[in-house]
Amino acid sequence: MDTESETEEGNDLLNGKTKGGTKVKIQAPITDIRRRSESFPQVELSEYKWDKSDSTPTGSFKKKFVFTVPGVMKQKQPREYKLKAFVVFIFFLIIIYLSLTYVFHKQQELQILQTEIAEGIHFHDKTRTLRILNSNLQDVLKIQVGQYLPPDLIPYECFLEDIVYTKCFRWKNAGQLTIRRHPDSSNITVSRCYDISWDGLSQNTPLCDCFSINDAKWFGFGNVYGNPWPLNGRTNFSFIPFVTGSDDSSLGSILNRYLLSSKGISISIDSSVPLFVSLHQNGICLKSERAWPYSTVSNSSLRMSYSICSGSDVKSVHEFTVNELRPKAETVSDLKYFMKQVIWTPNIDMNTESLMTYLDAVMELGISNNLLVIDKWQQEEGDLTFDPIKFPNFNDTLDAIRLKKFDVILKAHPYISTSSKNYLKHIRFWIRDENNVVPALTRWNNISSAAILDFTNPEACDWFINKLKSLPVPHFVFQGGQSFFLPRRYTLFDPVFNPDILSQIYASKIAEISVGMNTASVKQLDLNYVSVSPRTPTWDRERGLNSILPLVFTLGIIGFPFINPGTVGGDGISDPELYTRWLQLSIFLPVLQLSHSPKTLSDECFQETKKLLEIRSRLVIPLLEQLVEDGVKGVPLIRPLWWVAPNDSVALEVDSEFLVGDDLLVAPVLESGSQFRDIYIPQGIWNNSGRLVAGPKWLLHHAVSLNQVPYFSRVIL
């Protein structure tokens, strides 16, 4: 058998075959295999060949290695260990490559991020997210911009002349976003301010930005239905026009396009924007859309514009915004005079005889400063003359009233009943229908059919003001003017885009003879008292006693510090407890308004009223007079607790205590039947009838009887 055949035969045997094709089971003795596996192979010295390299240290090491490593390992080393070493080498190369790639991209990302942080704003074009950062490089506001733009559109950067302070992004045929950073402020508590503006490139695409609010407390807008304080988490509504409304609508009659965040953010929205707002638990959305009640006739493109300021805390950014961005008052009425008065609004069938009887009852209180407000003095609303049946000789009536030491003001409004003698006589002065042919009529209060004075018509304004000036009363409280009561379609002598501009014109025209209004919007250039809508004689939060403080806080923040909170006890008959608790709150507010003598409720209520009026005269009026200058500058007179503790999470939510200025804390009882309440004391040392309390801390289950109102004076060290 030659070598080749032997090899084949050997292979057949290894595969268990014979030449005849019969399989043979080959089995080695188990003991031999185990014995061989447990012993080292023998190394024949005769097979070892000496090499010159053995004399070197490496050769000596190799020689020792060969003699000591088991023969099995020596046999496996040439192939398997080289493969393993190669795999390990490739693995380390991959790790090094990934590490270097990560470091490189992280450095790039940090470099980009640091550039954006230097400006305080970061924009993600794919997610359309604007991030505002404070001076500590922390996110304080996230804005999802361009909500109605096609989702697959990616913007490209457009270049403007001012490349230092302005960035521009354009979505093809949809919209252009411009972000302008204000030059650095000298006020170290405010980091940056920005102007965010949209220009629509499509007439059919609304412009909409949404703000995430679930990680902060938000304040502002005005008298939102339900009077939430803070805004988020208390009320929700889908997109509604941001114009002055009625008592029952989502937005009331005193508004401003202003928002404030506990994270030190203020947002001021331009009055030229046809603004719709949406408020939900996690977000506030602003939408610019050419739809009712805004004018739909315009050749210009749709715009959205607002300013954002970022500061160290809620108070500092608000003060900066008020000082730097909010318009200053041009005229100021005699604010201190009306603080000193007790205002009386009789809820009676008004005539000379009933008035005299009413005043005699009021005089039993022994008050020297009284101001009487007369409503329903016309025979038909819009006559602008005294009713000859109720007041056959008003001058005599007026003299009798003044002998009782009462000053007099009248209520007035711009609505002309179609039954008035002036309706047809001066028909050219009223707002016209959409075809500019006849007056556009509406309903208001008890007037079922009324025309509205067109304040954009100078001749109509002059007629109205001169008619009021001819009356023997120098001052008036004005009502109405809300956009809610405008007809659906109308024509003005001088068209305006935003219907709330009419209320601004209304306020400016009557400023000379006005001591207050119940409608205000956008900005108050003619500083005066604003009156809240009538309250109901209940304890509830919607329009009862518990609605007062959240509403006063909000109006003070949005730019209306001089507030008439309405009649004590609400408009109607209240019980003695509700009247007393309401009065205990109201004596600390800028205006005190009563409707009927407390003696009609009970003798105890009468005596408590006299005591509380003495506290107002002795303690509150001097303090309020000192704060008038603050109010003229736009600072609230009645302040939330966070005003002295802007970083206190508890103070940010308290809505049943308040500050008069910075140094008088009041904690009235606002729950029926309660003679205890928890009181939160902010930072500082406070004095309550000789007892010193150091805050911040809670006074739990603090006893407050019906004839007590807790108040604390700050101790100045």
Say how far apart CA 548 and CA 552 lie, in whole Å.
6
pLDDT for 189 equals 63
pLDDT for 45 equals 38
pLDDT for 117 equals 33
Q: pLDDT, tens digit, for every residue of 599-637?
A: 999 999 999 999 999 999 999 999 999 999 999 888 999
pTM (2 decimals)?
0.82
pLDDT for 466 equals 97
Give the helix/strand (H/E) hosting 121: strand 121-124
480-492 core/surface letters (b: 16 or more CB in 10 A; e: else) = bbbbbbbbeebeb
Which residue, 452, 449, 473, is CA-closest to 461? Answer: 452
Question: Is CATH 2.60.40 the classification given to domain 121-325?
Answer: yes
What is the chain's Cα-based Rg? 41
pLDDT for 93 equals 86
Say how far apart CA 275 and CA 557 lie, in whole Å.
20
Say how far apart CA 631 and CA 111 lie, in whole Å.
46
pLDDT for 62 equals 45
Reported residue count of the chain is: 717
pLDDT for 567 equals 96
**DSSP letter string, 214-256:** TTS-EEEEEEETT--SSSTTT--EEEEE-S---TTSSEEEEEE
Rounded to 10 degrees, what is the CA torsion of 224, 225, 227, 231?
Answer: -60
pLDDT for 79 equals 64
pLDDT for 1 equals 42
φ, ψ of residue 94 to 5 degrees: the values are -65, -45
Q: Average pLDDT for consecutive 10-residue bins of the chain (717 residues)?
A: 43 41 42 40 42 45 43 52 77 83 55 45 88 85 93 85 78 91 68 90 88 91 90 85 86 94 95 92 91 76 92 94 78 81 93 94 91 96 96 96 95 97 97 94 94 97 97 94 92 92 90 90 72 93 95 95 94 91 98 93 94 96 94 93 97 97 98 97 96 96 96 93
Alpha helices of 49-167 — where are they, by DSSP H? 57-68, 71-76, 82-119
pLDDT for 47 equals 42
Prior bond of 327 cis (ω within 30°): no
Which residue, 10, 33, 32, 13, is CA-closest to 21? Answer: 13
